[in-house]
Structure 1
Amino acid sequence: MIGLIAGSGELPIEFAKSAYEKNENFEIFAIKGITDKNIETFGKTHWLHFGEAQKLIDTLKERGIQNLVMLGKVEHYSLIFSLHRLDKRSRKFISSLKDKRAKTILEAVINELKEEGFNFIDPLPYLKNLLVQDGIIAGNINDEKLKEDAIFGLKIAKEIAELDIGQTVVVKDKIVIAVEGIEGTDRCILRGGELGGEGTVVCKVARKRQDMRYDVPVIGIKTLKSMKKAKSKLLAVEAGKTYLLNKENFKKTAEKFGIAVIGFKI
Structure 2
Amino acid sequence: MRQVGIISGSGELPVEFARSASEKGIEVKIFAIKKITDKKIEQYGKTYWLNFGEAQKLIDLLKEENIKDLVMLGKIEHYSLIFSLHKLDKRAREFLSKLRDKRAKTILEAVMSELKEEGFNFIDPTPYLKNLLIEEGVIAGTAEDRLIDDAVFGLKIAKEIADLDIGQTVVVKNRIVVAVEGIEGTDRCIIRGGELGGEETVVCKVARKNQDMRYDVPVIGTKTLKSMKKAKARLLAVEAGKTYLLEREKFKKLAEKYGIAVIGFKL
Task: Please give the TM-score of this superposition, normalised by the length of structure 2.
Answer: 0.99
Q: Quick one: distance in 1 between partners of 2:120 and 2:22? A: 21
Aligned-partner residue type, residue 196 of structure 2: L
Q: Paired residue for 2:206? A: 205
Cα deviation, residue 215, structure 1: 0.1
8 A contact 2:28–2:44 mirrored in 1: no
Q: 1:25: how far off?
A: 1.4
Shift of 1:23: 1.5
The match for 2:249 is: 248
Matched with 1:230 is 231
Supply the distance in 2 between the matched residues of 1:58 and 1:42 (Cα, whole angstroms).
22
Q: In the alignment, residue 104 of structure 1 is paired with which amino acid?
A: T
Counterparts of 1:58 and 1:44 in 2: how far apart (Å)? 16
SS at match of 2:204: strand
Report the alpha carbon displacement of residue 22 of structure 1 after superposing the two structures with TM: 1.0
* Structure 2 residue aligned with 1:31: 33
In structure 2, what residue type is equivalent to 1:202?
V
| 1:138-197 alpha-carbon deviations (Å, 9 max, x no partner) | 0011x2110000000000000000000000000000000000000000000000000000
2:154 match:
153
- Aligned-pair RMSD on alpha carbons? 0.4
Aligned twin of 1:187: 188
Q: What does 1:70-85 align with in structure 2 at a 5 Å threshold?
A: 70-85=72-87
> By how many angstroms is 1:11 displaced?
0.3
**Cα drift, residue 120 of structure 1:** 0.3
Runs of 4+ deviating beyond 6 Å: none
Per-residue Cα deviation, 1:23-65 (whole angstroms, up to 9, x for no partner): 2012000000100111111111000000000000000000110
Aligned match of 1:56: 58
Query: In the alignment, what sits opposite 1:124?
Result: 126
Aligned equivalents of 2:91, 2:227: Cα separation in 1: 37
Letter of the 1:198 partner, please give it.
Answer: E
Provide the C-alpha distance between the structure 2 equivalents of 1:25 and 1:35, rounded to a whole number of angstroms.
19
Quick one: distance in 2 between partners of 1:15 and 1:2?
10
Deviation of 1:241 after TM superposition, in Å, equals: 0.1
5+ residue gaps, structure 1 = none
Paired letter, 1:25: E
C-alpha distance in 1, partners of 2:188/2:168? 13
State the match for 1:67 in structure 2. 69
Question: Could you report, residue by residue, the CA deviation over 1:213-257 in whole angstroms, capped at 9, with x for unpaired residues?
Answer: 000000000000000000000000000000000001100000000
Indicate the residue corresponding to 2:113 in structure 1.
111
Task: Give the drift of 1:105.
Answer: 0.2
Offset of 1:74 from its aligned partner?
0.5
Distance in 2 separating the partners of 1:191 and 1:134 = 28
Distance 1:16 1:238 in 2: 24
Q: Which amino acid aligns with 1:111?
A: S
Q: Secondary structure at the match of 1:41?
A: helix
What's the offset of the Cα at 1:133?
0.1
Contact 2:27 2:45 in 1 (8 A): no
Cα offsets for 1:43-101 (capped at 9, x unmatched): 11000000000000000000110100000010000100000000000000000000000
Gaps of at least 5 residues in structure 2 are: none
Between the aligned partners of 1:250 and 1:192, the Cα distance in structure 2 is 21
Shift, 1:259, TM fit: 0.1
Which one-letter code corresponds to 2:249 in the other structure?
A: E
CA distance in 1, matches of 2:263, 2:210: 21
Please give the alpha-carbon distance, in whole angstroms, between the structure 2 residues aligned to 1:219 and 1:204: 9
Q: Percent identity?
A: 77
Aligned equivalents of 2:66 and 2:14: distance in 1? 21
Match of 1:144 in 2: 145
Correspondent of 1:19 among 21, 43, 67? 21
